[in-house]
Amino acid sequence: MIGIKGLIINKKNHSVSIYGKEINLTPTEYEILLLLASHSGTVYSAEEIFQSIWKEKYYEANNTVMVHMWRLREKIEENPKEPKIIETVWGVGYKIEK
């Protein structure tokens, strides 16, 4: 289990909850969240996330990661426009700090 700022990721049963409330994530959203949470403090670029999750070559104009990040934030953040869990490191990528 990984716990960060009220968020609990249970790797045994692939469940995620925030402040005790279960959150339904797609398999891709879960994998992105698990990647970031498992490497707290590490900044991942959109390219690194894409290649790690989709196992394909990343193309510059690809907004796939950004779209998934927004949907994920809508589900786990109190205010997705001011995220407290998944932080954006401008010009670099995304990270989660414990």
Residue 3 belongs to some domain of the structure: no
Report the C-alpha gap between 41 and 81 in whole angstroms: 21
Residue 2 belongs to some domain of the structure: no
Residue 5, Ramachandran bin (φ over 0: left; ψ between -120 and 50: alpha; else beta): left
Confidence of residue 57 (pLDDT cuts 50, 70, 90): confident
High-pLDDT (> 70) share of the chain, %: 99
Residue 75 belongs to some domain of the structure: yes
**CATH number of the CATH domain containing 39:** 1.10.10.10
Q: What is the pLDDT of residues 17-54, one digit of tens each?
A: 999 999 999 999 999 999 999 999 999 999 999 999 99
In the DSSP assignment, the letter for residue 62 is -
Residue 69 belongs to some domain of the structure: yes
Look at residue 61 in the predicted model and tell me its pLDDT. 66
Total number of domains constituting the chain:
1
Residue 16 belongs to some domain of the structure: no
Look at residue 58 in the predicted model and tell me its pLDDT. 83
pLDDT at 60 over 80: no
Task: Give alpha helix (H) positions in 1-98.
Answer: 27-38, 46-54, 64-76
